[in-house]
Amino acid sequence: MALTPIGTNEVTAISRRYILPKVADNVYKSNPFFLRANQANRRDVQGGTQIELPLMYTNMTSFGWYSGFDQLNTAPSDTVQNAVFMWKQAYVNVSVDGLTMIRVSSPLAIANFISLQFAQAQMQMADLLGAGLWTDTVTNIKAIDGMLGAIDAGTVAPTYGGITRSTNPWWQSQVDSTTVTMTLAALQNLHGATTQGGQHATIIASTQTQYNRYWALNTSFTQYPRQPVGQDEALASAGFTNLMFNNTPWIVDSHIPTSGTAGNVFFINENFFEFIVASNVDFYLEDFQTPVDQDAMISKLLWAGDAGLNNVQLQGKFTALT
């Protein structure tokens, strides 16, 4: 029985048609913050030299009460400044050697083999992007501008979005660097500091250790221990356990760094969060190609985008909880 020859075009077609959509879906659901970012805060952008987020950083100067023929102040108000973010790129390489192609030279066999390859690529991309959302924006400037540096008062990331924090106090977050013991009062204080009118944190994120401490706070004060009441149904239905604090879901994200930042608990207002994705490079699979000096087929799974906050004052974090 003759075997069906499989070349680079066929492998690319099989991968794009049957495998790639599932890979992208699974990556975006890989951790709770990434899931919420993609569902509610995603902004697809096609092209552009850089990513710019407009900021309303001060009050207008031409306003007030008047009566009758009073002369009104019509001077223009300069209240908007742009934060600038650069495109960040990620890739995962997918390779198949010639001997493997000989062994699986049939449409079904190659589809099964490529599925395994992409399962690994999916896990790698999910880990890469998931960790990117929590970077400090300084250590690796090629990575996504993550929350560790975005939610800061200048200690970790002196500059964010191209704006220097020391000379622009309105560009500093609410950072508690002195509280070492988690208490309900301390949590409430930071929640209040990040609240303005009806705007407040929409999600709280931490490591498992800090999540356990919050759970313990709520069970230690009652004769019959019970966890905080309620949960975010969307997160729960996606498989992510969460507790509630002031009606705000508290999640564990395994990508939050534990080395040196284990005390971080983030209060994030997602209403001011933008997850920007280049629509033409959103899990784009390059055509498989054959190198001139190798018996193999190679392709890359590509992603481009960034994340940014356009209001950091209503974001907060604990940094010293031990």
| Positions of the chain with pLDDT under 70 | 1-7, 18-21, 56-59, 77-80, 105-108, 220-231
pLDDT at residue 6, as a whole number? 60
Alpha-carbon distance 6 to 101, whole Å?
8
Contacts of 311 (CB under 8 A, 6+ apart): 55, 269, 272
pLDDT at residue 165, as a whole number? 95
pLDDT at residue 222, as a whole number? 54
Secondary structure letter of residue 129 according to DSSP: H
| Residue ranges per structural domain of the chain | 8-55+80-318
pLDDT at residue 262, as a whole number? 73
pLDDT at residue 241, as a whole number? 82
Alpha-carbon distance 150 to 310, whole Å?
10
- Give the torsion through C-alpha atoms of 269, 271, 277, 279, to 10 deg: 160
For the segment 306-315, what is each residue's pLDDT rounded down to a tens digit?
A: 999 999 999 9
pLDDT at residue 58, as a whole number? 65
Contact between residue 228 and residue 211 where contact means Cβ atoms under 8 Å apart? no
The CB-side HSE value for 137 (13 A sphere, CA atoms) comes to: 26
Q: How far is CA 237 from CA 145, 231, 245, in A?
A: 28, 10, 19
For the segment 15-74, what is each residue's pLDDT rounded down to a tens digit?
A: 777 666 677 777 777 788 888 888 888 888 887 888 888 886 666 778 788 888 888 888
For the segment 75-97, what is each residue's pLDDT rounded down to a tens digit?
A: 776 666 889 999 999 999 888 88
pLDDT at residue 140, as a whole number? 93
Query: Which of 159, 177, 178 has the alpha carbon at shortest distance from 167?
Result: 159
- 192 in helix, strand or coil? helix
Alpha-carbon distance 177 to 186, whole Å?
12
Alpha-carbon distance 153 to 146, whole Å?
14
pLDDT at residue 78, as a whole number? 67
